[in-house]
């Protein structure tokens, strides 16, 4: 059922706050002062969560979006970029300005590009009435409803979208039907190489060699398992990608995590690296393939990169060897299971956790060992603020710097340095 709601402000997680039937209504996409038709997807006693269907009273800050499906990929697409930054600065001010923290937002760093900034596009595959596959995105808040995106998405490069369409055409020629459910295209910012990953819901025998396209350096066919892990069934060409961060070449596998907006990440990295003293002993929790830890190893005495995924930890070690960084050690273990003794020698700890933030055991270990400095980069300022309040027992947090890694979306990254209290 459609409802009309007027929205007054943007709250901490980027959603707009309005009221509907006397209850607070949170919705991704509307701007302050806008009225929108929405559909309620979750109803609680005191609040509602809704998806935006159509803006009926438009803000002066909203222009035309480039895509019809913008609500699915970038709800603020077409919104004046300076206003986007203003809203995101306000989000940070609300999150970190609470009485328990009272942290100042020092800066909000704009992204170098507003479009074409993603090095990874993940599509669903929609089966049309005539049985042909088409690129699609999941409808917001749904795991089953698909919305066709016939031209791809402007958040990725033209080359990525062209490659995606070419792969879909080959899948149709192979008559795979609805056995193929997803397509991921990744692009290396270092050399421009493209890699495509076709996800199957069941094993299927086909002449997969026909998926090889001259413009694509590598193709993988995999069966997607629970937890979005991949079981590789067939591959040709390159199955990893390369990026240059902080002067270090980093390689990562086709299904591995890597920052999706590397130029914006470099801007954050430029604030992190100067905060690592020369000759310091560093522990990089949630280290991945070494995106922060390896460049830091160029000036640090030693760096221990801690990563839960064994494949990523192995790749970090290989990246270190390739760069000749003998003072880097990769440890494959969850951050919360790292022995406390491993933190005792650390003078600097770098944190870049997933959206859930820090496990309480990590917070306890940091409070017990009390390294001199913590550098905390977060993709979720809400959980970051929660963690900083717990760390405040022994640490004095500095100012907040935000980074707009994802223009047009409600998401941003934030960096806070914490110093051990005297």
Strand 35-43, strand 2-10: pairing: antiparallel
Q: In degrees, to the nearest 5, what angle opens at C-alpha 179 toward C-alphas 176 and 181?
A: 110
Alpha helix segments (H runs only) across 40-133: 70-73, 81-96
DSSP label of 178: G
Q: 364: Cβ–Cβ under 8 A, 6 or more apart, which residues? A: none
Closest listed residue to residue 125, CA positions, set 163, 168, 155, 186: 168
Which string of DSSP letters, residue by residue, matches 147-172?
EE-TT--TTB-HHHHHHHHHHHHHHH
Give catalytic status of residue 379 as yes or no. Answer: yes
What contacts 382, CB < 8 A, 6 or more positions away? 12, 13, 95
3-class state of residue 321 by DSSP: helix
Degrees (nearest 5) of the Cα angle 15, 19, 21?
A: 135
Sheet of 133-138: strand order equals: 146-148, 133-138, 120-127, 180-187, 194-200, 218-225, 229-237
DSSP 331-359: EES-GGGS-THHHHT-SEEEE---TT---
* Among 25, 27, 73, 379, the one annotated catalytic: 379
SS3 content of the chain, % helix, strand, coil (to 5): 25, 35, 40
Tokens of 224: 């997607």
Q: 50 to each of 44, 53, 411, how far by Cα in Å? A: 12, 9, 18
Mapping DSSP to helix (H, G, I), strand (E, B) and coil, where does residue 108 land?
strand
Residues in the chain: 422
Contacts of 21 (CB under 8 A, 6+ apart): 48
Q: What is the set of active-site residues?
A: 379
């Amino acid at each position: 059922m459609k409802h009309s709601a007027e929205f007054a402000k943007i709250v901490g997680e980027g959603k707009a706050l309005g009221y509907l039937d006397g209850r607070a209504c949170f919705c991704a996409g509307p701007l302050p002062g806008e009225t929108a038709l929405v559909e309620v997807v979750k109803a609680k006693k005191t609040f509602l969560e809704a998806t935006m269907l159509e803006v009926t009273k438009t803000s002066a800050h909203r222009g035309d979006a480039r895509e019809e499906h913008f609500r699915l990929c970038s709800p603020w697409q077409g919104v004046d970029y300076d206003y986007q930054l203003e809203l995101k600065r306000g989000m940070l001010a609300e999150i970190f300005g609470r009485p328990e923290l009272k942290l100042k937002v020092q800066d909000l760093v704009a992204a170098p590009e507003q479009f074409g900034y993603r090095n990874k596009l993940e599509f669903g595959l929609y089966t049309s009435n005539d049985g042909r596959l088409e690129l699609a995105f999941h409808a917001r808040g749904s795991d089953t409803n698909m919305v066709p995106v016939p031209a791809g998405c402007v958040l990725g490069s033209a080359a990525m979208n062209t490659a995606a369409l070419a792969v879909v055409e080959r899948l149709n020629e192979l008559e795979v039907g609805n056995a193929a459910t997803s397509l991921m295209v990744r692009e290396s910012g270092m050399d421009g190489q493209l890699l495509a990953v076709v996800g199957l819901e069941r094993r299927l025998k086909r002449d997969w060699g026909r998926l090889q396209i001259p413009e694509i350096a590598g193709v993988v066919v995999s069966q997607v398992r629970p937890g979005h892990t991949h079981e590789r069934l067939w591959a040709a060409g390159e199955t990893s990608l390369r990026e240059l961060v902080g002067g270090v070449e980093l390689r990562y596998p086709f299904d591995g995590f890597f920052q999706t907006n590397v130029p914006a990440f470099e801007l954050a990295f430029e604030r992190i690296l100067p905060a690592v003293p020369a000759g310091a002993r560093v522990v990089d929790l949630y280290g991945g393939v070494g995106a922060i830890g390896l460049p830091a190893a160029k000036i640090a005495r030693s760096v221990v990169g801690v990563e839960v995924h064994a494949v990523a930890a192995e790749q970090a070690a290989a990246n270190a060897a390739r760069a000749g960084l003998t003072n880097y050690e990769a440890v494959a273990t969850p951050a919360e299971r790292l022995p406390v003794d491993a933190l005792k020698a650390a003078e600097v700890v770098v944190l870049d956790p997933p959206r859930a933030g820090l496990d309480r055991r990590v917070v306890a270990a940091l409070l017990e060992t009390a390294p001199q400095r913590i550098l905390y980069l977060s993709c979720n300022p809400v959980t970051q603020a929660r963690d900083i309040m717990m760390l405040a027992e022994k640490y004095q947090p500095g100012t907040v710097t935000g980074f707009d890694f994802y223009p047009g979306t409600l998401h941003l990254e934030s960096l806070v340095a914490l110093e051990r209290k005297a």
